[in-house]
Structure 1
Amino acid sequence: MKIGDLSAFSAFLAVAEHRSFRAAAIELDITPPAISHSIKTLEKRLGTRLFNRTTRSVSLSEAGERLAAKLRPAMGAIEEAVQEIEGRRETASGTVRINASEGAIRMVLKPVLAHFLREHPQIHLDIVSDGRLSDIVAHGFDAGIRLAEAVPRDMIAVPIAEEARFAVVASPSYLKARGRPRVPQELHDHDCIRFRFESGAIYHWEFERRGIAERIHVSGPLTLTDQPLMVEAAMDGIGIAFVPEHLAASGLGDGRLERLLEDWCPPFPGLCLYYPGHRHVSPALRALIDALSRERLRS
């Protein structure tokens, strides 16, 4: 592989992401004809068409899809290695835009914010609370935070929290009046506190035990878009809630809540910070990643 191939591969990945030669040229700060020439040269060398082009659209061919899948992590690793060396002499400064749910912000960002900003006075963090799983590239974010299972496959994901679990909880007064469900299907006979995503969709409760998966569409008198409020509603005896375990920890610890169906709630990979693999990781973002990784090791 020649040095020129790296430029051609960078051009290829930029066009693959934007589905536009003009947008890729803007990102790479070169002319659209230069992008087009680079792609044609690469296609000629590989002996295959990488893009399907029309007057209105650009899409990856089957060969292009395979090449992009292989190149993204490889190019990301090369850029990260170079940036690691550059980062030793660059000052961490500037704005870092982060997209995350409110729960993720409170769980992994809030504990490090004060110390991080004191340690890096030239960094400004712009944190947007968003429960819609937005496209961070399309919306101009440097990185996002979400559960590992929800991170897009073309992103670099850095674990920043240990395994997570959900908990089914209810107040002692509710359970005394209505009894305890023993299997997920019995939730149909109970008042459940439902969660609505910002998209408008209702979350279906998901369970698993010994390889058996259950997905329950519950019903009840209350639907909320805020999980801490769901915990409070369960404490008030309104019904059964299904929430991240850490949100219910206080109520479980002091007896205001009791846990149900625990053996149906296995752990799963926790939160990750993720970012586009082919984009430059600034010293400021790298500093935040390092801070979150250190906090994970301490916790």
Structure 2
Amino acid sequence: MKKLVRMDDLQVFVTTVEAGSFSAAARQLDISPALASGAVQRLERSLGIRLFVRSTRKLRLSDDGQRYLPHARQVLDALTEGEMALEHGREEIAGPLRLSMPSDLGRNVLLPLLDEFQAAHPRIELQLRFSDQIADFFSDRLDAGIRYGQLADSSLVSLPLAPGNRRILCAAPAYIARHGAPSTPEDLGQHNCLRYMMGELTHERWNFHTPQGVKAVVVAGDRTSDDADVVRRWAVAGLGVVYKSQLDVRDDLRAGRLLELFPREWGQPTPLQMVCAHRQSLTPLVQQLRAFLLQRLERLTSD
């Protein structure tokens, strides 16, 4: 029966490979050459193999040693990562948290969740920016942004928050009572469609994933805004049809203020994600916020 492998023996083995000799490894690890050699011999006995081919002039890895080396490194890397995770877990979550988010989602969905997160970590200083425009992470000094859709800038880091989120076509009961409900995407040409804009671009091309394939229709209406919250409020007031994220209209649907017009699976996929400027932005604070939001938003999109 093989003995259990000791982590310190693994460390000596990997350091010896990298340093090229027992004496050089011993100097790096601040132990004697005899202890270094003994650690490798103990590891060889535990594994039942020869890790090195020894000669008076040279120390080289055996074939078994070559095969075992990447696994030894993987074990040591995993141990280091585990220690770092524990260290991060002991760090107090505190300091400024600068976030950018869409207007409608931010005010009506994320704000109460962020209040809950701050209550659990009272030393956080929230700095929130509500905007439907694309944020500049560098000039605005943001820690993270929360955005719908796919990233145009591939240099940014994207972490899923609600990957299964979709758009929902809906209208208020009062609007449907006056104008009826569309039954196909083509019917939207007969309806007042409430649209939003980003910069100079108006989102008036609506895509639907029907059983017959993706259908794109260009819609029109008498109201357009660069604030998605305003567009939703117009819909609740019975002024037209709106094509909004499931997360944005969830509460309105549950309360009956809006009614879903097409099957849920027809909606255009609209994943929600947390975006950071680079990997170094993924501080323990940002990572804990992401884990918290991922759990809460999963509940909101699953019902």
The interval holding the TM-score normalised by the smaller chain is: 0.5 to 0.7
Q: Does 1:214 align with 2:215?
A: yes
Judge which range, 82-91 or 240-249, deviates more.
82-91
The superposition leaves residues 41-87 of structure 1 with CA deviations (integer Å, 9 ceiling, x where unpaired) of xxxxxxxxxxxxxxxxxxxxxxxxxxxxxxxxxxxxxx988863542
Larger Rg computed on CA atoms: 2
The superposition leaves residues 107-161 of structure 1 with CA deviations (integer Å, 9 ceiling, x where unpaired) of 6532333332233233212111121122323432111111252374333333223
Which residue identity is paired with 2:287? R
Whether the 8 Å CA contact 1:252–1:258 is kept in 2: the answer is: yes
Give the SS at the match of 1:110.
helix
Whether the 8 Å CA contact 2:118–2:124 is kept in 1: the answer is: yes
Partner of 1:167: 168
CA distance in 2, matches of 1:286, 1:108: 19
Give the SS at the match of 2:202.
coil
Quote the offset at 1:230 in angstroms.
2.9
Structure 1 regions of 5+ residues with no counterpart? 1-78
**Where do residues 58-137 of structure 1 align in structure 2 (5 Å cutoff)?**
84=85, 86-106=87-107, 109-137=110-138
Which residue identity is paired with 1:215? A
- Name the CA shift for 1:269/1:83 in 2 (closer, same or farther; >3 Å): farther
Quote the offset at 1:184 in angstroms.
1.4
Quote the offset at 1:244 in angstroms.
2.2
- Name the CA shift for 1:181/1:95 in 2 (closer, same or farther; >3 Å): same
Which residue identity is paired with 1:206? N
Which residue identity is paired with 1:119? A
- Name the CA shift for 1:173/1:298 in 2 (closer, same or farther; >3 Å): closer
Give the SS at the match of 1:174.
helix
CA distance in 2, matches of 1:162, 1:125: 25
- Name the CA shift for 1:138/1:82 in 2 (closer, same or farther; >3 Å): farther
- Name the CA shift for 1:209/1:89 in 2 (closer, same or farther; >3 Å): same
CA distance in 1, matches of 2:119, 2:242: 39
Quote the offset at 1:202 in angstroms.
0.8
CA distance in 1, matches of 2:178, 2:91: 63
Partner of 1:202: 202
CA distance in 2, matches of 1:267, 1:216: 12
Give the SS at the match of 1:164.
coil
Which residue identity is paired with 1:175? I
Whether the 8 Å CA contact 1:181–1:187 is kept in 2: the answer is: yes
Identity %: 25
Quote the offset at 1:194 in angstroms.
1.8
Which residue identity is paired with 2:202? I
Give the SS at the match of 2:150.
helix
- Name the CA shift for 1:188/1:252 in 2 (closer, same or farther; >3 Å): same
Give the SS at the match of 2:138.
coil
Quote the offset at 1:280 in angstroms.
4.7
Give the SS at the match of 1:136.
coil
Give the SS at the match of 1:92.
coil
CA distance in 1, matches of 2:131, 2:238: 29
**Where do residues 11-90 of structure 1 align in structure 2 (5 Å cutoff)?**
84=85, 86-90=87-91
Which residue identity is paired with 1:146? R
Partner of 1:231: 232
CA distance in 1, matches of 2:152, 2:186: 30
Quote the offset at 1:298 in angstroms.
5.7
- Name the CA shift for 1:278/1:227 in 2 (closer, same or farther; >3 Å): closer
Whether the 8 Å CA contact 2:109–2:248 is kept in 1: the answer is: no
The TM-score, its normalising length taken from structure 1, stands at 0.61
Whether the 8 Å CA contact 1:144–1:275 is kept in 2: the answer is: yes
Partner of 2:62: none
* Number of residue pairs aligned between Structure 1 and Structure 2: 222
Give the SS at the match of 1:196.
strand
Structure 2 regions of 5+ residues with no counterpart? 1-79
Partner of 1:76: none
Partner of 1:50: none
Give the SS at the match of 2:154.
coil
Whether the 8 Å CA contact 1:98–1:145 is kept in 2: the answer is: yes
User: What root-mean-square deviation, in Å, do the aligned CA atoms of Structure 1 and Structure 2 show?
Assistant: 3.4
Partner of 2:189: 188
- Name the CA shift for 1:88/1:151 in 2 (closer, same or farther; >3 Å): farther
Quote the offset at 1:238 in angstroms.
2.4
- Name the CA shift for 1:98/1:90 in 2 (closer, same or farther; >3 Å): same
Quote the offset at 1:233 in angstroms.
2.6
